[in-house]
Structure 1
Amino acid sequence: ECHPYAQRTEMRKKAAKYGIQVECWYPLGGAQSQGLLLRDSVIKKIADNHGKSPAQIILRWHIQEGFSVIPGATNPDYIKENIQIFDFALNDDEMQQIRSLNKEQRIFNATLDDVKRMVWGTKTIRH
């Protein structure tokens, strides 16, 4: 999980040290966030300035930070919107404003048992 509220600073430093590309899951906060990132006043103001959606601003920020980003959209309209992030750039001040939102606060905090239930529908995996 990686997004403006959980920028994973230490993990990114370690990944860079070993030449590992960071792939961001839940770049928009995921369903558990209930749109928290998309309603952030800093993000919304930057979005308004560019005539873009908050989601586009967040995805563009990820790209400019050097992340590989995979939004989990299934709605065709959102998929189209998500790809329309290459016709503008965030300036240094906007990038810093978004960086300042970092709280190292993850939204998706599933336990291993939670993941097993989501993936396999059970708590116990039998070999």
Structure 2
Amino acid sequence: MSFEFDNNKPIYLQLVDIIKLKIISKELKPGSKLSSVRDMAQEFGVNPNTMQRALSELERENLLYSQRTSGRFVTDNEDNINQLREEVAKVEILSLYNILTKLGYKKEELIELVINNLKEMS
């Protein structure tokens, strides 16, 4: 399954974002083993070097770790995962805030709007 990538952002960074979402949504469970670089590259429809670069970045961010003979694993550090989850939520909230304030909503109206819409969704 190949993905459609944005030409305005490096593919490896887009892969980092996709894998981060899989980690914080628990699609990739803490401590779980990842597929090989080649298999993941094939799954995403990218060059193995691009996938390797994305995985190295995730290791640098302490979201993945390598075991020399066993492969790569998702961190089992729940604090790191929860911190990332909160950071992503803040970015999304800021984006929503910026869009809605451009539409003329005031802060108090935004709070009421979000609460009312969440109630309707349940």
TMscore range, shorter length:
under 0.3
TM-score, normalised to structure 2, is 0.26
Instruction: Output the TM-score relative to the length of structure 1.
Output: 0.25
Determine which structure has more spread, i.e. the larger CA radius of gyration: 2
Q: Which of the pair has the greater relative contact order for Cα pairs under 8 Å at 6+ separation? A: 1
**Which structure: greater helix fraction?**
2
